Amino acid sequence: MKRRQLLQSAGGLLAALGLHEANLLRQAQDYRQALAQPAGRKLALLVGINAYGSQPLQGCLTDVALQRALLIHRFGFHPDDVLTLSDRAATRDGILAAFETHLIQKAKPEDVVLFHFSGHGSRLQDPTPIDGRSFNSALVPIDSSLGGSGQPPATVSDIMGKTLFLLMSALQTEQVTVVLDSCYSGGGKRGTTVVRSAVRGGQRQLPRPSQAELAYQDSWRERLGWSRAELQQRRQAGVAKGVVITAAGPGQVALDADFGEVRAGAFTYLLTQYLWQQGDQEPLEQALATVGRSTQQYAQDVSTRLQTPEFEANLPAGQSVPMYFLPPTAPAAEAVITGRSDPEVTIWFGGVDPRSLVAFGENTVLDVLDSQGNTQGEVLVRSRQGLEGTGRWLGSGRSGPTGIFLQEVIRGIPQNLELRIGLDPSLDGMAAVQEVLAALPRIEPRPVSLGGVDYILAPLTADIAAPASQPGARTGALGLFSPGLDPLPGSFGVPGESPANAVRRLRTKLQQLLAVRLLKVMLNPSSSRLQVTATMHPVAGGLDVAANRLTVRGGRSAGNSPTEVAATTAAGRVQLPVDTEIQFEVTNQEPRHLFISLVVIAPDGELILIYPNNWAAPEDAARIPAATTLQIPQLGRDRFSLVLRPPTGVVETLVIASAVPLREALRVMGQLGTERGLRGGEPLVGDSGMVTLVDSLLSDFNQSATRGYRGLGIEPLPDIQGIDSRDVAALSIVFEVIA
């Protein structure tokens, strides 16, 4: 396999690789044989650079920490065999020397090697180009010139892709993985996101590589015994060996992303978080297809920019290998114990979905697992900052060694979780708008420069297109933007509106967006113990199933991975045209009844409660018997059909299942439906009472979690609302409505 693969749907990718149905059994056998091969030493070199003088980044050191913890605790690397170079240590000479001494000189044919780079990328002139291109992509070390104002450098000390090809070729092992979280186009900052591409503005042509770089390439070419023509021929054929994974495709961006409490590479964070949850029976191409969709979805949610991860492999024909050429050596987990002083422990939360990280603080309860996935006790989280936290081992036994794995039992959502609105510095009357925002319940205004925002209040500018749903919105109109300055449909007023009046106009929308944030914090498809499946499909023709989500730990083997089946395009998610009629199906696979709710989040942030919709008896409608499939909408019961209408954009449907009665939430649902004069079978659309409804849902979940806390001898906290993964499942189905 020597060709670039776009990370699309698992089905589309498998077809592209030739893994048709007739080959699946043989491929599975090849994969099992690959897992059975005796592993040698595991070596890794991780490079992360934040401290670029004029174009600093913020997430690259986090990337290194994410990879290091994953490799040591989930894939069994010895800490001494994972070498990291950060900031000032990551010079050109330092990176090349470390690659030689730590990887080339140490790696034997049976060993596994990983090289990871997080930092700026670039393009350089290539004296010996391939594929008709006059440039070669490159990695920017800390000591390479980015150029001053109006003075772009003519020659730079970047490390060219050709150099990396030669170094990979010198490795004795074929089990090589290279991960590059950088790019070479579209640099600069947009909102709270930064692109990992060096901006050397003002230059009419690309910089040249340094003479030292060209001499270094010649030295390695000669040591490998290759002529210049042979090197060109090998480069033309593809990557040197193993697998090269890039965070973005040619001409795309790799985001240095703001996840609220954590800054990290969007791709690296989502990749490593997924690998903490991955089972031991998943080939590399399937894992990367799923991570690719997650990365694309994140990039499109926070900005208009496209980030499509890619990989290229040089493997024997038909061979399928696991990620990093290794099966995980530990069970799937949200966290791991990294230190202890009985009964206190320190915790790394690398396996938690970034959308839910805020719920893994004080009073979170985690199961303690041994290497076979058996429960050995519980840990109560005391505090967390970013991805590191502290906790207390419950019970009388010792806390055991470090490297013990932790799975979610009860998460704790802060009761007064707020919607964070960034204020663009160009706004007039900043004090007045802060006062109006602060007066709204659970809305936190903050300067955009602080980061950690959910939306940004700012004016439309000439370089930002008006949203398709408001084509008449003009430059200067105030509205809401994503953290990457993607305008939110339906939020823009008229030019000349004061920021304070814009906030008053947006009051209901802000409350709905707060409800959306609360709902997304509940998502737990990887950790819920309930057995629930949700699907979405067009009613007429086309795909049988457009998207499928299921819980992973709900009565299934710990070896399973977070699963999403989707018919996607190169855009990375299901795309359905306007006027398509769709239907959802939710299957209760539990031996007991469950209470089911479905909420749709429209592209403009509007919330639509589509089930239950019997406002006179919502509890009866929500209760779904064991081994039963619910269709929504259902002919003869519901008074609506789900036909996709403008505005175009991303639609997310949240499926919430509970094993405990939702008495307060269902009471509020019935009250809202009655007050709005809704007939049975009609959905509740864009209601200002959605925050009250979501709060009541959390209150019901907290009643169940309280019993779980007290069963472990833990006193619930009044400002924390618990969600017990044994009683609640919250899944998400995402698709895009296109014109």
Give 84-113 as a DSSP string.
Answer: EEEGGG--HHHHHHHIIIIIITT--TT-EE
**Strand, coil or helix: 323:** helix
CB atoms within 10 A of CB 634: 12
Query: Which range among 215-229, 289-303, 507-521, 707-721 shows the weakest confidence by mean pLDDT?
Result: 289-303
* Residue ranges of domains in the chain, CATH in brackets: 42-241+251-283 (3.40.50), 335-414 (2.40.10), 419-505 (no CATH), 519-738 (no CATH)
Mean pLDDT of the chain: 86
Amino acid letter at 167?
L
**Strand, coil or helix: 664:** helix
Q: Tokens 């003479």 correspond to what residue?
A: 211
Q: In the prediction, which pLDDT does 130 show?
A: 78
Query: Which range among 62-76, 192-206, 283-297, 684-698 shows the weakest confidence by mean pLDDT?
Result: 192-206
Beta-carbon contacts of 418 under 8 Å, excluding residues fewer than 6 positions away, are 442, 443, 444, 514
Task: Please report, for residues 356, 461, 667, the alpha-carbon distance to residue 562 in angstroms, rounded to integers and kept in the order given.
Answer: 15, 40, 33
- End-to-end CA distance of the chain, in Å? 36
Taking a C-beta distance cutoff of 8 angstroms, is the pair 27, 318 a contact? yes
How does pLDDT run across 587-627, given as a tens digit for each residue?
Answer: 999 999 999 999 999 988 899 999 999 998 888 889 999 99
How does pLDDT run across 296-323, given as a tens digit for each residue?
Answer: 878 877 776 678 888 999 988 778 889 9
**Strand, coil or helix: 39:** coil
Q: Which two structure tokens, joined as six digits, stand for 552?
A: 């992973």
How does pLDDT run across 439-487, given as a tens digit for each residue?
Answer: 999 999 999 988 899 999 999 888 776 665 566 678 889 999 999 888 8
User: CA 122 from chain center: how many Å?
Assistant: 25
- Say what percent of the chain tops pLDDT 90: 60
How does pLDDT run across 31-86, given as a tens digit for each residue?
Answer: 334 444 445 899 999 999 999 988 999 999 999 999 999 999 999 999 999 999 99
